[in-house]
Amino acid sequence: MSPRRRLALVALVAALVLAVGAVVVRQLLPAGGVAQDVAGPVLLVPGYGGDVRSLEPLAAALRSSGRRAVVVPAVGDGTGDLRAEADRLARAADDAIAAGAPSVDVVGYSAGGVVARIWADDLGGADRARRIVTLGSPHHGADVAGLGAATGACPEACRQLAPDSDLLAGLDEMPSGPAWTSIWTGQDETVTPPESARLAGAVDIEVQDVCADARVSHGQLPGDPLVVGLVLRALGERPLEEAPAPAECGGLRAAGSQALGAP
């Protein structure tokens, strides 16, 4: 074999080895480079208006279940640019990972779920998050925000949450990497239509599909025993692959009640 042919053969073999190696590495690494079986802290992101107290029952329930849970404070009064809220979430996640956490889990309530998507899509969060759970989030806009935007009567975050806003239209529906779960109530009186909380590709859970007798308003989501049970399940050892069946209603409520410290 001539030296030129030998060199070409060596180059071809090397290229094949590199290609096979790349495939093997992609198969061995979890999505986004984050292991699903090792949990870090849970970062909770409040909704429009930035009321951290609304998430304290859920944060306390997570802590009682053995997780470290931190409510990320809003920027200002929580009605400004949602991208600033995503920046704050990014800093909280980076601080946790710099302190030794393998990754973070994120729970975004209401507008906080949209903030989590901005972080995952635009700020590298998809490579830092193990799980992302959204609660009653207006992923496709809320009618009340649309009305406010049309009349000029709402701040920037409100305008960004209007249906077909530039911000919502520019977001990837569900950035790959984390395991996503969207939990919402069909009785949501704030995010209307409630189906705006659906997230294509995520495990989509309407609480009434799990417990037909569930009476949960938008404001009750973070402290409802069924919702807490669903969040605990979504953040468990293994990611959810599908919505829990109605047969699991009682068990999920009981787990949530126990974590909340209810009698």
Question: Which residues are paired to 129 by β-bridges?
Answer: 104
Question: Residue 29: its pLDDT value, please?
Answer: 36
Tokens of 250: 């009682």
Look up the CATH number of the domain holding residue 159.
3.40.50.1820
The predicted structure's pLDDT at residue 152: 87
pLDDT of 30 higher than 80:
no
Q: Is the pLDDT of residue 2 over 90?
A: no
Residue 68 maps to a domain: yes
Q: Strands 129-135 and 179-184: what pairing?
A: parallel
**Range in 11-15, 30-34, 94-98 the model is least confident about:** 11-15
Give pLDDT tens digits for 189-243.
999 999 999 999 999 999 999 999 999 999 999 999 999 999 999 999 999 999 9
Nearest to 244 by CA among 215, 204, 217: 204
Q: Is residue 162 part of a domain?
A: yes
Least-confidence region, from 113-117, 152-156, 179-183? 152-156
What confidence score (pLDDT) does residue 224 get? 98
Asked if the model's pLDDT at residue 122 lies above 80, the reply is yes
Residue 31 lies in a domain: no
Predicted pLDDT at 8: 44
* Containing structural domain, residue 170: 37-260
Please give the residue that has the higher pLDDT: either 135 or 5: 135
**Residue 156 CB burial class (10 angstroms; 0-12, 13-18, ≥19):** middle
Higher-confidence residue of 13 and 59: namely 59
pLDDT score, position 41:
97
Q: At what angle do helices 249-260 and 56-64 cross, to 10 degrees?
A: 100
Task: Give domain status of residue 26, yes or no.
Answer: no
Order of strands, edge to edge, in the sheet holding 179-184? Answer: 69-71, 42-45, 104-109, 129-135, 179-184, 203-206
Q: Which residue has the higher pLDDT, 54 or 20?
A: 54
Q: What is the mean pLDDT of residues 170-199?
A: 96
- Residue 12: what pLDDT? 41
- Structure confidence at residue 153 (pLDDT): 86
Note whether residue 218 is domain-resident.
yes
Residue 25 within any structural domain of the chain: no
Q: Smallest Cα–Cα separation from 108: which of 171, 51, 43, 53?
A: 43
Residue range 105-124: mean pLDDT, rounded: 97
Q: What is the pTM of this model?
A: 0.86
Domain total in the chain: 1
Res 111 pLDDT > 70: yes
What does the buried/exposed string (b/e) look like for 215-228 if buried means 16 or more CB atoms within 10 Å of the residue's CB?
ebebbbbbbbbbbb
- Note the pLDDT of residue 79: 95
Q: Is residue 142 part of a domain?
A: yes
pLDDT(167) > 60 = yes
Can you tell me the distance from the alpha carbon of 179 to that of 149, in angstroms, rounded to the nearest whole number? 32
Is 152 contained in some domain? yes
48 DSSP assignment:
T
pLDDT of residue 92: 98
What integer best gives the mean pLDDT of the chain? 89
The pLDDT value given to residue 263:
56
